[in-house]
Amino acid sequence: MTRIIDRRLDGKHKSAVNRQRFIRRFKGQLKKAVNEAMKSRSITDMDSGEKVSIPARDLSEPVFSHGAGGHREIIHPGNKEFITGDRIPRPPGGRGGGGGRQAGDSGSGEDDFVFELSREEFLELFFEDLELPNLVKTELAKAPDYKLVRAGYTADGIPSNIDVVRSLKGAIARRIALAAPYKARVQELQQELEALLATVAETDPRVAALEEEIERLEARIRAIPFIDTFDLRYANRIRQPQPTTQAVMFCVMDVSGSMDKSRKDLAKRFFTLLYLFLQRNYERIDVIFIRHHTVAKEVDEEEFFYSRETGGTVVSSALTLMKDIMRERYPVSSWNIYVAQASDGDNWHHDSPSCKEILVKHIMPLVRYFAYIEITPDRHQSLWEAYEEVRALYPYFALQQIDGPADIYRVFRELFKRRLS
């Protein structure tokens, strides 16, 4: 007696729980492996998972077993030339002839345990305990931002909110209501008039009196206004508090001639990380890419990272453009604004003071966090000095210097490490 059951539709990922537990348990080792992997990895392929390895001994499950040594007799198949009593030199490392199954058991203990993290798991580990700084998940009670929602109609309001259909409906009702008594009276009088005309001549004074009365009543009906201020109805909108979790990230990068290819590459990596980070953390994020040399330009992501352009350097051009975009499109009441800027610190000398001025006057009051990374192994130049003055005024302005690819991750962590508020 046999039953055949199709189990294929049963729950998938039954092992997911065990896998998660495995990852949780070895988080420490995995994180280390992920950090190692980040050092050599090109950031642009962040879309894939990562193969990580953990020293196998860290996750071994120990059991009592025999160690090497003692007397053992092991059977092997496939004899070719041995006869009883032959002596064979011990193979180095204790493997081979005498090893057999035993070696198979213990030998695997030395290899690393290699396995593949999915992209999600990789990013989870990579971005763990990171958070955009100072992001206030605005509580409902203190919401600085409101959204207007419809809530019926009111009798007063501004002309642009007049609801025409509703107002005219009201007007019709009013006209019918006001005219009703007159109309009834008119009907009565007309019937009376008809009855009278059947008996008397048209010239009868009573006829004239009735006609006059009807005329008077109809005039009253005509005098009822087609529309009255009383009829007007306005769409009612009430303000509902809205939590702000939307953020806009400005990525500003110097693509001038002084930024050579490797520097650009570093900056690209930095932004790629930021971009991924934002994508992961927020429901709604706008990312604005501004690249600049002597003039600044707002570009799309593709162009930001991959198109080539060179020229001199005027950093203030980018700051001015950014200021304008903020003003026009990202009111501070509903957006958390973050800025990340990458440059080699090389700027037209006389431009640095104006950079400072734009920052202090127009930009810093609006943003929540401003991160500036300078990609140079050299001494700092005028821009850094100007920015240091800004930092003195605003604690949420951060500067970091990057020397090589290995620094990126450190700086990234540094900039965005979870702040204890």
* Residues near another protein (CB under 8 A): 1-8, 10, 12-15, 17-25, 59-80, 82-90, 97-98, 100-101, 104, 106, 113-116
Q: How far is the CB of 37 from another protein (least distance, A)?
A: 17
Between 65 and 203, name the residue whose CB sits nearer to another protein.
Answer: 65
- 14-28 burial, b at 16+ Cβ within 10 Å, e below that, comes to eeeeeeeeeeeebee
d(CA 361, CA 108): 64
d(CA 397, CA 364): 8
Between 5 and 164, name the residue whose CB sits nearer to another protein.
Answer: 5
Instruction: Give the long-range contacts of residues 54-58, CB within 8 A, separation 24 or more.
Output: 54/26, 54/29, 54/30, 54/112, 54/113, 55/29, 55/112, 55/113, 56/108, 56/109, 56/110, 56/111, 56/112, 56/113, 57/109, 58/26, 58/29
d(CA 340, CA 43): 17
CA 361 to chain centre: 28
Task: State the burial class of residue 100 (Cβ atoms within 10 Å of its Cβ: 0-12, 13-18, 19+).
Answer: middle
Q: How far is the CB of 24 from another protein (least distance, A)?
A: 8
Q: How far is the CB of 276 from another protein (least distance, A)?
A: 25
The kind and range of the H/E element at 17 are helix 16-25
Paired with 401 in beta bridges are 374
Between 50 and 351, name the residue whose CB sits nearer to another protein.
Answer: 50
Between 25 and 327, name the residue whose CB sits nearer to another protein.
Answer: 25
Q: How far is the CB of 39 from another protein (least distance, A)?
A: 23
Paired with 339 in beta bridges are 250, 370
Between 103 and 359, name the residue whose CB sits nearer to another protein.
Answer: 103
* Local structure of 19: helix, strand or coil: helix
d(CA 390, CA 399): 10
In this structure, how many other beta carbons lie within 10 angstroms of the beta carbon of residue 419? 12
> For residue 387, what are its two tokens?
């920015």
Distances (CA, A) of 293 to 17, 260, 268, 312: 51, 13, 16, 5
Q: How far is the CB of 253 from another protein (least distance, A)?
A: 39
Paired with 402 in beta bridges are 375
Paired with 239 in beta bridges are 148
Q: How far is the CB of 280 from another protein (least distance, A)?
A: 24
* Residue 353: HSE in the Cβ half-sphere, 13 Å Cα cutoff: 2
Between 48 and 310, name the residue whose CB sits nearer to another protein.
Answer: 48
Between 91 and 331, name the residue whose CB sits nearer to another protein.
Answer: 91
CA 400 to chain centre: 24
Q: How far is the CB of 98 from another protein (least distance, A)?
A: 4
Between 81 and 328, name the residue whose CB sits nearer to another protein.
Answer: 81
Between 17 and 420, name the residue whose CB sits nearer to another protein.
Answer: 17
Q: How far is the CB of 120 from another protein (least distance, A)?
A: 15
Between 96 and 311, name the residue whose CB sits nearer to another protein.
Answer: 96
Q: How far is the CB of 101 from another protein (least distance, A)?
A: 3
d(CA 161, CA 8): 59
Q: How far is the CB of 8 from another protein (least distance, A)?
A: 5
